[in-house]
A and B are shown apart, each in its own frame.
Chain A
């Protein structure tokens, strides 16, 4: 046991001490905001930099009026179609919209000419503007005042409350549950792949640099494998913990910053109380609801579930990666054995989106969250909505049995594989190794 600890220590320190670890740990959480920032920056720059795009509109019905936007302006005229097209070709106009005489109940023949392919949102935008105008016109024709209709429009939102056995009520918001399930599930998926790969690389390194024979003359192969898996897992947990602290730190700074700005906002609101009164009520309602929803979520339970499946899933797949590393001589040879690892992980990943987050209580969701190969990812999708105790207990015990057995199988492959050099290994040979005693 002492020796396993030595291996854990070495694997851990060898990675944590590296500069690349520090860099990855600090930079990774910044990648997403940075990429978003760059896109926003480019988009804003584009909007500002782009000259106003003028679109010539010829309406033979004299019916339509299109309001100009930030990026588009509409110019109405009675030019001939050919002249309109010419203007687009010569670059005088960005586009040319031709609306022929139309029947209001079946408007056809509306055509847009542009030098470039217009974006889908742009066309959809145009379509909805025209549609609204046509609808209004038809209502007027049948004697309905569109303003009256607007007044009848009503917004409905249903508050969903779960009742548990003891009669406690809990307000739900599927969006927040979805978000938590989505985020934690993806995190486990990524973690398994990234750190599983590190295990595999580590095993291949020891095998190809021939340290392995010296190591196994001091320590049992199984202990060595276990130490490596745990040590690398600890690196991952450390990295994760640092991220949590970074996020907590950054968000407290952000909240602090906006908190400072709050008084100004309230001052402004005070200046025009009548105007803000209504919207304030709305906001307050939304806020209190969100806070109630967040308060209703059992974060401790979700966090504990997350940690369990995070570690359980890693251990289950980690031993697979170790066995693959032991069976091959180079990382490129490892490709042929990756399928049994990637397929169940992909099923879990897709299952999370297609089934679990959509309906956490369906049969498919149940099985995805019970089978150990998919449960670490799929169960997180259910956990955020709340899972019956029985399901959770069954899934967790199966996962424990699952990783104990994959570790046992992997240990057998590992033990023989690490001493095999240059021999061709396929699934048949792996099976033989497992059967050997």
Chain B
């Protein structure tokens, strides 16, 4: 089941088109990676989902209902550019954000206490944001995003601006929230976090959706059918020209294209030549796919 479905979304600004016929589905409970270079239209898409700006055309469904203002409490949003009231105390601030999302006062108090305990920062509750260090403020920022227990959490570049310790903390919190059944949308350039966290991805480039689906599915789609073989030949080996030799550490390593054969046939051929110490498919990284996709679509 999809928590969010976007159909044929279109949005134009005065001077440029931000989104063109974008459709995607975000499965419930997934961690969904939203990729794309700067200015591709990611932030516009996220703002439309958050009902900050209006769409020109297209439909959005949240839990199979047309998206409307009553869904605001079910969505949490950490924008790329973020901030807090500098002169406001931590406690007041978190209560305010929780209540703006429609949480009753008593429940908000309980939740704020829960998070302050969990991150072991109860002693900060009466501190003003301007008196906190940047890293401390980042934790408060994260709490403010999740305090109302949204079903859908949208994090725009969550790791940018966070120091490594806090980035790790956020990563663990994301995984924990997923365990609770919360769906998370990650918009980021950092491909390694996509590989690590996401199970679904969508790629937007020049206002169009150019790729979407499950992470493995997408990777399979872009496999080059090349196998990495670690081989110790029985005798002198005349390396075929389509093999790429990357010998290292006294091991002979080859990148061998499959060429219409099945992997088993290839493996049998290898066994005949020498002792096979390693045999695995080379799967492209998200980064490679990303760069390749951007390049190929840019020349269209």
Contact = CB atoms under 8 A, between A and B. Distances in A.
Interface of A: 3, 6-7, 10, 14, 205, 209-211, 213-220, 419, 421, 432
13 contacts: A3-B100, A3-B102, A6-B96, A6-B100, A209-B83, A211-B83, A213-B47, A213-B82, A214-B144, A217-B72, A218-B97, A419-B53, A421-B81
A408 B293 CA distance: 45
Contacts of A419: 47, 52-53
B146 to A, nearest CB: 12
B66 interface: no
Given A6-B99, A209-B85, A419-B52, A214 B77 contact: yes
Interface residues of B, number: 28
Contacts of A10: 96
Given A209-B86, A210-B82, A218-B97, 9 more contacts: A3-B100, A209-B83, A214-B97, A214-B144, A216-B52, A217-B52, A217-B75, A218-B101, A419-B52
Nearest to A7: B100
Interface of B: 14, 47, 50-53, 69, 72, 75, 77-79, 81-88, 96-97, 99-102, 144-145
Contacts of A213: 47, 52, 77, 79, 81-82
A210 B156 CA distance: 14
A10 B97 CA distance: 11
Nearest to A213: B79
Contacts of A3: 100, 102
A165 to B, nearest CB: 54
A145 B103 CA distance: 93
Contacts of A421: 81
Given A217-B72, A217-B75, A210 B100 contact: no
B84 A209 contact: yes
Contact of A211 (B72, B85, B145): B85
Contacts of A211: 82-85
Contacts of A214: 77-79, 82-83, 97, 144-145
Contacts of A209: 83-86
A14 B83 contact: no
Nearest to A209: B83
Closest 8 CB pairs of A and B: A210-B83, A209-B83, A218-B100, A213-B79, A217-B50, A210-B81, A217-B77, A211-B83
A309 to B, nearest CB: 32
Contacts of B82: 210-211, 213-214
Contacts of A217: 50-52, 72, 75, 77, 79
Contacts of B87: 14
A421 B79 CA distance: 14
Contact of B72 (A6, A7, A210, A218): A218
Contacts of B84: 209, 211
A214 B79 CA distance: 7
A10 B96 CA distance: 8
A118 B72 CA distance: 75
Nearest to A208: B83
Contacts of B69: 220
Contacts of B97: 214, 218
Central interface residue in A3, A214, A432, by most chain B CB within 10 Å? A214
A6 B96 CA distance: 8
Contacts of B88: 14
A83 B82 CA distance: 82
A46 B83 CA distance: 57
Contacts of A219: 100
Contacts of B83: 209-211, 214
A218 B97 CA distance: 8
A192 B87 CA distance: 24
A281 to B, nearest CB: 63
Nearest to A436: B14
Contacts of A6: 96, 99-100
A220 B100 CA distance: 11
B123 to A, nearest CB: 21
A435 to B, nearest CB: 11
Central interface residue in A6, A211, A218, by most chain B CB within 10 Å? A218
A209 B137 CA distance: 13
Contacts of B52: 213, 216-217, 419
Contacts of B14: 432
Central interface residue in B83, B97, B101, by most chain A CB within 10 Å? B83
Contacts of A14: 85, 87-88
A199 to B, nearest CB: 16
Given A14-B87, A14-B88, A215 B53 contact: no
